[in-house]
C-alpha cells in the first residue's frame, strides 16, 4: 500500500509508540491520583504538556482534550459575542458555529477567492468592535492553503476580539503565529496517536467549560487523561520540533516532483500555488470519475477531500467556496505526503494515477 492521505491521518512515529508502551502496561495509574503511582503518571502527562507547548506561542497553557474537534467546540462555545469565520473552515468549526446560530449567536462567514485565500476586504468589514471571536484555519485540510493569519490577527486585535486558530494541519509544520489567543491541535496529524488533542489558551483568556466535572485541566476541562496518549503526543511533538526543517524540506521536494509530473498533463492545481503547505497536492482533471479512480487503484491510499466528510456524496464545500462547479469539485483528488513518504513511491503512484485518469478520458 502506498499511503498518500497524510491530511486524514499520519503514520504513528516509532518514537511515539515507544513513549506510550510503559503507560499501557505497568504505568496504568490515574494521573489525577495523589499516590506515588498517580504522581508518576502525572509527571509523564506534564512532560508531554511541555513538549506540546514547545511548538506553541509563549504566554499560554496547553489543556489536553480528546482531539481537535473537542478543542474547537470548547473554544467556540466557551467564548462570547459575535463570531467571524471563513467558508473553507473544517466542519468542526462550521457545524459548531451553525449550532451557535441556532442558540441566537451572530455569525459571519467570510468568502474566499479562487485561490482559497480569505477576501481581506470582507474581513475588514466584518471584524469590527463588538466581535467576540475570529476562527480561522492556519493550513486548509483539503487544499493546503495557508491563510494570512497576521493580517487577520491585526484586525482581530483592533476589534478587541479573540483569535482562534485551527492549527490541526499546521502544527509541527508551520510556525504558529504569536498573535493567536486560542490554538486547537490534534496528535494524530503529527505522527502521534488518535484520541488526544489540545487547546492552547493564552494567559488571561477565560472560557466557559465544555465538559463539567473535576476540572482537571488548566483551562477547566474535565475528564481523566490517558498518560499513554499524552506521552505519545508529547513524543510526536518533540520529534516534530527536532525535524521541523528536515520534514519541511522533504515535503517541499516531494511537492515539486509530483506537481512537475502532473502539472503539464491536463491536471489543474486547486488552491494557491504560493501560499500553501507543500505536503498537500489537490488537483483536478476534466471529467474524472474519482470513485472509479480509487477503485482502480486500491493499493494507493488517497482522498477525494476531507476524510471527515467522506461518503456524504456532496461536492467539497471548500472547492465550491472557491467557485468550482460541482463537476470540477467532484473531479478533484487530494494527495497528502510527509515524513515517511519516499520520492520513488510518490512518483510511481502519481504516474499510475495520471495513466488511469487518461484512460478514463479516452474511454469516454
Contacts 24+ apart (CB under 8 A), 220-224: 220/63, 221/63, 221/64, 221/65, 221/74, 223/66, 224/30, 224/31, 224/32
Mean pLDDT of the region 26-39: 96
pLDDT of residue 122 exceeding 80, the answer is yes
Q: Which of 204, 239, 274 is the last residue of a domain?
A: 239
pLDDT per position as a tens digit, 33-86: 999 999 999 999 999 999 999 999 999 999 999 999 999 999 999 999 999 999
Assess whether 273 and 218 both reside in one domain. no
Whole-number pLDDT of residue 241: 98
Assess whether 108 and 250 both reside in one domain. no
| C-alpha cell recorded at residue 262 | 502532473
Question: Taking all residues of the chain, what is their mean pLDDT, rounded to a whole number?
Answer: 96
- Say if CB 232 and CB 16 are below 8 A apart: yes
Mean pLDDT of the region 230-255: 98
What is the domain-level CATH number for residue 335? 3.90.1150.10
Assess whether 218 and 248 both reside in one domain. no
What is the domain-level CATH number for residue 202? 3.40.640.10
CA distance 259 to 209: 45
- Say if CB 191 and CB 241 are below 8 A apart: no
pLDDT of residue 186 exceeding 60, the answer is yes
Whole-number pLDDT of residue 264: 77
- Say if CB 237 and CB 192 are below 8 A apart: yes
Q: Phi and psi for 355 in degrees, rounded to 5?
A: -65, -40
Assess whether 106 and 226 both reside in one domain. yes
pLDDT of residue 101 exceeding 90, the answer is yes
Number of domains in the chain: 2
Assess whether 291 and 147 both reside in one domain. no
- Say if CB 346 and CB 297 are below 8 A apart: no
Whole-number pLDDT of residue 263: 80
Mean pLDDT of the region 18-33: 96
Mean pLDDT of the region 307-319: 71
pLDDT of residue 306 exceeding 60, the answer is no
Alpha helices (H) in the chain, listed in sequence order: 14-24, 36-53, 68-77, 91-102, 120-126, 149-159, 227-242, 244-263, 290-296, 317-321, 326-330, 343-363
Cβ neighbors of 313 (< 8 A, separation 6 or more) are: none
| Whole-Å CA distances, 327 to 50, 244, 324 | 46, 38, 8
DSSP assignment, residue 243?
A: T
pLDDT of residue 309 exceeding 90, the answer is no
What's the distance, CA 101 to chain centroid?
24
Assess whether 61 and 131 both reside in one domain. yes
Catalytic positions are 308
Assess whether 220 and 139 both reside in one domain. yes
Q: How confident is the model at residue 304 (pLDDT cuts 50, 70, 90)?
A: confident
Q: How confident is the model at residue 108 (pLDDT cuts 50, 70, 90)?
A: very high
Assess whether 161 and 68 both reside in one domain. yes
Q: At what angle do helices 244-263 and 343-363 cross, to 10 degrees?
A: 30
Q: How confident is the model at residue 327 (pLDDT cuts 50, 70, 90)?
A: very high
CA distance 90 to 142: 9
Whole-number pLDDT of residue 290: 95
Q: How confident is the model at residue 313 (pLDDT cuts 50, 70, 90)?
A: low
Of 65-79, 142-156, 299-313, where does mean pLDDT reach its minimum? 299-313
Range of the domain at 161: 14-239
Mean pLDDT of the region 89-103: 98
| C-alpha cell recorded at residue 20 | 506510550
pTM here is 0.96
Mean pLDDT of the region 133-157: 98
Q: Which of 239, 269, 289 is the last residue of a domain?
A: 239
pLDDT of residue 312 exceeding 70, the answer is no
What 3-state class would DSSP assign to 326?
Answer: helix
**Residue linked to cell 478543542:** 71
Assess whether 271 and 288 both reside in one domain. yes
| C-alpha cell recorded at residue 304 | 477525494
CA distance 55 to 12: 19
CA distance 55 to 172: 7
Assess whether 120 and 267 both reside in one domain. no
Q: Which of 206, 239, 272 is the last residue of a domain?
A: 239
Q: pLDDT > 90: what percent of the chain?
A: 95
pLDDT per position as a tens digit, 244-261: 999 999 999 999 999 999
Assess whether 78 and 161 both reside in one domain. yes
Amino acid at each position: 500500500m502506498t499511503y498518500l492521505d497524510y491530511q486524514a491521518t499520519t503514520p504513528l512515529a516509532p518514537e511515539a509508540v515507544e513513549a506510550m508502551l510503559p503507560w499501557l502496561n505497568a504505568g496504568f495509574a490515574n494521573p489525577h491520583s495523589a499516590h506515588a503511582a498517580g504522581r508518576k503518571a502525572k509527571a509523564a502527562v506534564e512532560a508531554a504538556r511541555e513538549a506540546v507547548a514547545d511548538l506553541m506561542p509563549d504566554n499560554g497553557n496547553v489543556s489536553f482534550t480528546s482531539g481537535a474537534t473537542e478543542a474547537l467546540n470548547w473554544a467556540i462555545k466557551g467564548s462570547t459575542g459575535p463570531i467571524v469565520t471563513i467558508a473553507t473552515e473544517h466542519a468542526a468549526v462550521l457545524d459548531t458555529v451553525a449550532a451557535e446560530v441556532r442558540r441566537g449567536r451572530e455569525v459571519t462567514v467570510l468568502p474566499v477567492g479562487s485561490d482559497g485565500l480569505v477576501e481581506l476586504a470582507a474581513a475588514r468589514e466584518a471584524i469590527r468592535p463588538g466581535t467576540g471571536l475570529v476562527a480561522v484555519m492556519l493550513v486548509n485540510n483539503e487544499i493546503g492553503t495557508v491563510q494570512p493569519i497576521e493580517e487577520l490577527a491585526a484586525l482581530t486585535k483592533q476589534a478587541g476580539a479573540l483569535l482562534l486558530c485551527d492549527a490541526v494541519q499546521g502544527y509541527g509544520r508551520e510556525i504558529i503565529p504569536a498573535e493567536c489567543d486560542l490554538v486547537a491541535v490534534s496528535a494524530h496529524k503529527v505522527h502521534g496517536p488518535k484520541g488526544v488533542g489540545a487547546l492552547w489558551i493564552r494567559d488571561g483568556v477565560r472560557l466557559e467549560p465544555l465538559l463539567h466535572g473535576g476540572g482537571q485541566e488548566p483551562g477547566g476541562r474535565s475528564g481523566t487523561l490517558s498518560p499513554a496518549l499524552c506521552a505519545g503526543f508529547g513524543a510526536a511533538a518533540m520529534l516534530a520540533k527536532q525535524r521541523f526543517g528536515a520534514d519541511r524540506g522533504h515535503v517541499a521536494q516531494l511537492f515539486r516532483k509530483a506537481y512537475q509530473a502532473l502539472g503539464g498533463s491536463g491536471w489543474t492545481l486547486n488552491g494557491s500555488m504560493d501560499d500553501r503547505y507543500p505536503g498537500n497536492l489537490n488537483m483536478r482533471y476534466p471529467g474524472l470519475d474519482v470513485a472509479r479512480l480509487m477503485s482502480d487503484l486500491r493499493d494507493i491510499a488517497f482522498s477525494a477531500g476531507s476524510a471527515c466528510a467522506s461518503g456524504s456524496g456532496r461536492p467539497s464545500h471548500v472547492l465550491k467556496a472557491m467557485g468550482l462547479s460541482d463537476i470540477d469539485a467532484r473531479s478533484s483528488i487530494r494527495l497528502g505526503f510527509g515524513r515517511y513518504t519516499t520520492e520513488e513511491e510518490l512518483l510511481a503512484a502519481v504516474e499510475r494515477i495520471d495513466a488511469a485518469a487518461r484512460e478514463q478520458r479516452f474511454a469516454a
